[in-house]
Structure 1
Amino acid sequence: MGKPSIFSREYDRKMKARKRRKTIFVFCLIAVALYFFCRTTYTRWQDNYFKQKQEQSTGYLANGGDKDEGVSSKNNEEKEQVPETEPEQVPIITDKTLDLNLPNGKVIKVIYNEENGSKSIRNIVSEDNFLLFFNVSPSAAKAVVLDSAQELYIIDLEGNIKNISKTEYITTKGTKIEKNSYLQRNPSFQWHSTPKFINENTVVYISQMPWFQTKKSVYKVDINDVKHERITSLTSENISFDIMEEKGLKIKVDGAVMYINNEGNVIQ
């Protein structure tokens, strides 16, 4: 578009419009130039940045980013040479088994390990599942075993087997109740249940004696003289043994927590 005549009535308006178009045109040129300049600069910076990150991730840039291989090699030579040591040899402990024939003709397998001449019972299994319960003594040298006939045995890794069952109960009136015959008539009755050691020589168990009903009590037996004694303070229809803790064997009686310490006394 040509320059308007100065004698035209529209001269001032057209000149202002022309200047405005020039200004817009120049601004657009500058904006385009800045766009391409910034894009090129950013692309170059981005390429350098990712290249540097890749070099760092591969460990190529060391010692503060110095790429000079001579400097890197020199620093490696100056590092203290640490002598290689042989890894500590951990002794391999393998399980062993001992077959024991119980007086009832059943066979149990005692699984144990041996380290530095010391043997420790780890588990006891039976092939036909006649084993109801077992518990290992604190020293792990012996265990108490309860079979399906509710017979209590103490076994050890020397092959010794000792029956510590309470074979009969005598009422206050002198009536004798024999264990095996009573269980034949009432096989669900708990004569002995969940025996556990409280020390090396004492086992406790839960029983439905002496009332021969649903109420239960706790007995302790010295495995040396096979003397059974009822703990009179532990009587309820809901009694269960828990784990051995520092205070003793944890017991739950109607939801309350008590303990039998290693001397056979009941404590809170």
Structure 2
Amino acid sequence: MFSKDYEKKMKRRRTRNITLSIICLVVIIFGVSFFFLGGSYKYSSDYLTSLFKKDNETQKENIKEEPKEDNKQEKTPIEEPKEQEENSLSMDLDIGNGKLVKANFDETDQGKIFKSIDTNGNKVSFDIDSKGMYSVLLDEDNQNLYLSDTNGTLTDISLDTYNASSGTQFSKENVLRENPTYIWNESPRFLNENTLVYVSQLPWFNKSDKYIWTIDLNNKNHQCLNVQGQKVDFGNLSDKGLEVTIDGALKYVTTDGKVIN
């Protein structure tokens, strides 16, 4: 059995060893701090505090300097619609058989009026009335006549069938098929806003003479003026009427459908 003194000695030794261990641990901590930080514990603590503070400030600066995202999407510039003047003041007119002509207009205080007709290389004759409200188109291949208004509405005003005084009917289609050079109608012109004139070999089929015909645009009635010649050419509108040269002689077609010198 151990004596009581021995137990006391062992107890003091354990206490001393624990104390020495704590002292050594403290010395090591301070030594490491001094070695790495070059100063006392207080200095080390201040240094660590300053580092922490600087780190916070650096983080704040980084956050401040970091460019903010622009939540606003970059707007694509919207192009102002170009003026469609050219398109709105022109229109394609389809006269059939794949033929398109281009009608050009002017804008006036009274509205849109015809300015010109572009035939686009097609065999088409045309005229525009003096007020620009209507145009007449002749397809020279099938000799169909069309009346157009400024809205582009086309009306076929052809004389499809000629009724002879004998009661015999002659269709344009059959006559031209048998004689492609026959002139059923040509050179349409406006006499006034209600009347058109044109040249035709009707009412004869075995003569080369040409006659002046009129069309009443109100009822689409065709009428022969019984004025004939081998060569008939229309000129300008004047106070006397529409100039017409018949075999070299200048005459006038009046607004009431008479031919005068």
Q: State the 1:114 CA deviation.
A: 0.7
Aligned to 2:231: 238
Mapped pair 1:135 → 2:127: yes
Q: State the 1:262 CA deviation.
A: 1.6
Q: State the 1:106 CA deviation.
A: 2.6
Q: State the 1:103 CA deviation.
A: 4.5
Letter in 2 for 1:206: V
Q: 1:95 to 1:243 in 2, by over 3 A?
A: farther
For the 8 Å contact 1:249–1:259, the answer to whether it is kept is: yes
Task: Name structure 1 gaps, 5 residues minimum.
Answer: 1-91
Secondary structure of 2:89's aligned partner: strand
For the 8 Å contact 2:209–2:228, the answer to whether it is kept is: yes
Counterpart selection for 1:222 from 216, 221, 231: 216
Q: State the 1:97 CA deviation.
A: 0.8
In the comparison of the two structures, how many residue pairs are matched? 175
Aligned to 2:144: 151
Letter in 2 for 1:224: N
Q: Structure 1 stretch 114-123 or stretch 250-259: which is displaced more? A: 114-123
Q: State the 1:263 CA deviation.
A: 1.8
Counterpart selection for 1:178 from 167, 171, 184: 171
> Identity over the aligned pairs, expressed in percent?
33
Letter in 1 for 2:210: K
Aligned to 1:248: 241
Please list, as runs of the form range in 1=range in 2, the aligned pairs for 1:14-93 lying within 5 A after superposition. none
Q: Distance in 2 between matches of 1:172 and 1:117?
A: 45
Q: State the 1:253 CA deviation.
A: 1.4
Q: 1:256 to 1:99 in 2, by over 3 A?
A: same
Aligned to 1:266: 259
Aligned to 1:78: none
For the 8 Å contact 1:248–1:259, the answer to whether it is kept is: yes
Q: Distance in 2 between matches of 1:106 and 1:257?
A: 35
Q: Distance in 2 between matches of 1:163 and 1:93?
A: 28
Secondary structure of 2:242's aligned partner: strand
TM-score normalised per structure 1: 0.61
Q: State the 1:172 CA deviation.
A: 2.1
For the 8 Å contact 1:93–1:113, the answer to whether it is kept is: no
Task: Name structure 2 gaps, 5 residues minimum.
Answer: 1-84
Q: Distance in 1 between matches of 2:122 and 2:94?
A: 15
Secondary structure of 1:183's aligned partner: helix
CA RMSD of aligned residues (A): 2.1
Secondary structure of 1:102's aligned partner: strand
